[in-house]
Structure 1
Amino acid sequence: MATIDQQKKLKHEQVQYIEFLSKDIVRAKDFYAKCFSWKFTDYGQEYTAFEGDYVDGGFTYGEPINGSILVILYSEDIEASKDKVISAGGTIVKDTFNFPGGKRFQFTDLDGYELAVWSK
């Protein structure tokens, strides 16, 4: 059951929770805390939940499977976000490019998951 604060954030048909597999949960937590200021709650050694401003999810211990879903995050300052990804050890796999709705870049995290960040 969602808490009252979580219920306020829920919107019909939004992506509400995303789970990742990670070979190293401590490393994943460090990476996403540095990049996007996600906060974590550990539930044992093999699971941690995260909360961001507009997305919640978790990391469970396991071998990452690349290429299943592209998670896209919004940024008000795409260059600052890209700098944080690089600084935290991420790899840019598609440099910033324009598309009809704005611009975005794609990167892989330390487990090889590919994500994107977009901006208007």
Structure 2
Amino acid sequence: MPRLSYLELSVKNVAGVRDFYADAFGWGFTDFGPGYSATTTGDTDLGLSGDEDHPAAAMLPIVEVTSDLEGALDKVVAAGGTITAPIFSYPGGRRFHFRDPAGHELGVFLSDQD
């Protein structure tokens, strides 16, 4: 069953914001290169993205699917969603972004670690 599993924040200083959350809440992060760091608790995790090519305008909720990312994209489009970023790879998986009919942007991902 797909579930909301991730929230992503666009940040200019990944290390500084990572350190803030680590100090403020004791959260542990895994760095996936200089431009990305994330908690990896398996619950609802927080990602910090320094990707200037694809900055999110606001917090980006990300839904996890356990199989068939292409099928999930097809279902989003069929339900009335608009794709804002087609399927792309990143360290740890693949994902796409879409806008729902109300204009909210979300992502959908499939982990490579299953």
TM-score range, shorter chain: 0.3 to 0.5
More helix by share: 1
TM-score, reference length from structure 2: 0.46
